[in-house]
């Protein structure tokens, strides 16, 4: 049978675009559908604009710290509108770049919602197209809890389009999105209250990392209500009130205009016509094998709509591995071992490999923990008690480093290099024999000598 396309991609986020371009490089006829802006969550409502706001939130501290180095006092005020405008202008620029990249790759772009009619036929707007292979790369979307008044809350999607800076904000959720926005808004001068269900933020991360970030956030003035249950949100002319249950008591927290719900994300698979395909779901996510293939033989899926790791670089790598295998004759699969990640809170954190709990579950008493906590040199003249935490986990039987965690300035930049070492199978002896760059915080990773008792 002759098809309109060799590959049709549903979703032009980072994973979908990377896949489309890679397949086109191999000579495939490729189409891609997107009913929103090109670039997906990361470029438009996630990694990129969020990181720009992280940078903006750091300047008040930088101004203050400079005085310890002899600089005169800086009196400066944030122009929220100017910042938001600049952030979104950069997003616009990136969208134009993605369009040019797809055009240069001769990928046909359909700016409409796509829906399966059958495994090989897709309805795109008022057209129908056919494809030999189809890739689903529709990403995820914020999840809203089912509570009274949730319609008065916003999600991370809307944070980048607020017309005015709120004086007070309540953030619901203790995951990385909630924590990052709590730190951003706190750094920009907003009074922040964060409501979390457990006793600690960042469930699933290493416990020492969680403890260190939570202490740092509290130290910087964020009010954390832990072991709390959200009861209701009510709208008033002057703002909103958030009713929170903590144990046997209830507390009402007042915010100016917004309450950010950041309790997680779920696959964005509604109205795709998956019931017409044979694609199977598990807990609302598309089930795929190691080749990103679904239960329907010609349909594949990558990124946040699947049940794999939800990170932009993972989606990109999954998509390129699929294109290499199916269209390039280079069979390969995505490796999910030692995938590094970062949390752009203040203090910043990054991690690669196993948590201590995971390491002990796999290796038992053989696990050795090397740990340090110190004040970086930068803060000595600034007179601040900011701390950096570093931690290495080692399998005592093989001396192999199986986990690395850091909280502190430039953690993401440092852990990126450490991730290469773990991916290459480095041992603790390899770390010990590496000469450190002095004076830096990063050198602590190669000077850790004695395991924590």
Complete DSSP assignment for 303-316: GGGBSS---HHHHH
**pLDDT score recorded for residue 260:** 79
Query: What DSSP state is assigned to residue 157?
Result: T
Angle value at C-alpha 446, between 443 and 447, nearest 5 degrees: 85
Q: Are 172 and 178 in contact (CB under 8 A)?
A: yes
CA distance 182 to 194: 7
Tens of pLDDT, residues 115-145: 999 999 999 999 999 999 999 999 999 988 8
Collapsed DSSP state (helix, strand, coil) of residue 375? coil
Q: Which residues contact 1 (CB under 8 A, 6 or more apart)?
A: 120
CA distance 286 to 326: 19
Q: Residue 219: is the preceding peptide bond cis (ω within 30°)? A: no
Contacts of 243-251 with CB under 8 Å at 24 or more apart are 244/195, 251/225
Tens of pLDDT, residues 13-26: 999 999 999 999 99
Tell me the CA end-to-end span of the chain in Å, nearest whole number.
Answer: 67
Collapsed DSSP state (helix, strand, coil) of residue 48? helix
The DSSP line for 258-288 is EEEE-S-EEE--TTS-GGGTT--EETTEE--
Q: Are 124 and 112 in contact (CB under 8 A)?
A: yes
Tens of pLDDT, residues 203-214: 999 999 999 999
CA distance 128 to 133: 15
Place of tokens 């005015």: 164
Q: Are 308 and 271 in contact (CB under 8 A)?
A: no
Q: 115 or 248: whose pLDDT is higher?
A: 115
User: Does pTM top 0.85 for this prediction?
Assistant: yes
Query: What DSSP state is assigned to residue 371?
Result: E
Q: Which tokens sit at 41?
A: 């969550």
Tens of pLDDT, residues 326-378: 999 999 999 999 999 999 999 999 999 999 999 999 999 999 999 999 999 99
Compute the average pLDDT of residues 175-196: 96
**Domain 341-446 listed as CATH 2.60.40.10:** no
Compute the average pLDDT of residues 296-318: 97
- Residue of 58, 219, 405, 438 with catalytic role: 438
Partnered with residue 241 across adjacent β-strands are 234, 254
Q: What are the start and end residues of each CATH 3.50.50.60 domain in the chain?
A: 5-142+266-326, 150-263
Whether residue 257 is predicted with pLDDT greater than 70 in this model: the reply is no
Closest CA to 362 of 336, 395, 338: 395
- Which helix (H) or strand (E) segment holds residue 63: the answer is helix 47-66
**pLDDT score recorded for residue 330:** 96
Name the CATH superfamily, with its identifier, for domain 150-263: FAD/NAD(P)-binding domain (3.50.50.60)
Name the CATH superfamily, with its identifier, for domain 5-142+266-326: FAD/NAD(P)-binding domain (3.50.50.60)
Mean pLDDT across the chain, nearest whole number?
96
Q: Is residue 120 annotated as part of the catalytic site, yes or no?
A: no
Distances (CA, A) of 85 to 58, 82, 168: 18, 5, 21
Query: What DSSP state is assigned to residue 86?
Result: H
84-93, 151-160, 275-284, range with the lowest pLDDT: 151-160
Q: What are the start and end residues of each CATH 3.30.390.30 domain in the chain?
A: 341-446
CA distance 139 to 137: 6
Compute the average pLDDT of residues 270-292: 97
58-67, 68-77, 154-163, 178-187, range with the lowest pLDDT: 154-163
Q: Which residues contact 58 (CB under 8 A, 6 or more apart)?
A: 187, 346
**pLDDT score recorded for residue 80:** 98
Q: Which residues contact 221 (CB under 8 A, 6 or more apart)?
A: 186, 192
Sequence-ordered strand ranges (E) for 15-119: 30-33, 108-110, 114-118
Closest CA to 172 of 189, 190, 197, 149: 197
């Amino acid at each position: 049978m002759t098809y309109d396309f060799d590959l049709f991609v549903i979703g032009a986020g980072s994973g979908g675009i990377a896949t489309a371009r890679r397949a086109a490089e191999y000579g495939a006829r490729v189409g891609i559908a997107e009913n929103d802006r090109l670039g997906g969550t990361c470029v438009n409502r996630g990694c990129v604009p969020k990181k720009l706001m992280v940078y903006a939130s750091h300047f008040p501290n930088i101004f203050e710290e400079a005085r310890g180095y002899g600089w005169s006092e800086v009196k400066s005020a944030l122009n929220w509108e100017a910042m938001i405008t600049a952030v979104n202008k950069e997003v616009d620029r990136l969208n134009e770049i993605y369009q040019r990249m797809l055009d240069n790759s001769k990928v046909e772009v359909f700016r409409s919602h796509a829906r399966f009619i059958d495994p090989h036929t897709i309805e795109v707007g008022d057209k129908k197209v056919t494809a030999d292979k189809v890739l689903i790369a529709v990403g995820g979307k914020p999840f809203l809890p089912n509570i009274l008044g949730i319609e008065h809350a916003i999600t991370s999607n809307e944070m980048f389009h607020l017309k005015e800076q709120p004086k007070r904000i309540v953030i619901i959720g203790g995951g990385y999105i909630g924590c990052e926005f709590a730190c951003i808004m706190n750094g920009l001068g907003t009074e922040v209250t964060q409501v979390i269900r457990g006793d600690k933020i960042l469930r699933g991360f290493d416990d020492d990392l969680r403890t260190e970030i939570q202490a740092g956030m509290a130290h910087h003035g964020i009010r954390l209500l832990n072991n709390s249950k959200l009861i209701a949100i009510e709208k008033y002319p002057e703002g909103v009130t958030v009713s929170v249950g903590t144990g046997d008591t209830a507390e009402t927290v007042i915010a100016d205009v917004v309450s950010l719900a950041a309790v997680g994300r779920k696959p964005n698979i509604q109205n795709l016509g998956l019931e017409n395909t044979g694609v199977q779901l598990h807990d609302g996510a598309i089930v795929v094998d190691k080749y990103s293939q679904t239960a329907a033989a010609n349909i594949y899926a990558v990124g946040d709509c699947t049940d794999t790791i939800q990170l932009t670089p993972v989606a990109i790598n999954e998509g390129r591995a699929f294109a290499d295998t199916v269209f390039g004759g280079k069979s390969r699969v995505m490796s999910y071992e030692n995938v590094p990640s970062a949390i752009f809170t203040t203090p910043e954190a990054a991690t690669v490999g196993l948590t201590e709990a995971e390491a002990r579950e796999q290796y038992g008493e053989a696990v050795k923990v090397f740990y340090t906590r110190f004040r970086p040199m930068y803060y000595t003249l600034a007179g601040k008690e900011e701390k950096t935490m570093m931690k290495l986990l080692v399998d005592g039987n093989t001396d192999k480093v199986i986990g690395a965690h850091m909280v502190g300035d430039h953690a993401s930049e440092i852990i990126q290099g450490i991730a290469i070492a773990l991916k290459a199978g480095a041992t603790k002896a390899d770390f010990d024999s590496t000469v450190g760059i002095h004076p830096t915080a990063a050198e602590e990773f190669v000077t850790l000598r004695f395991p924590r008792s």
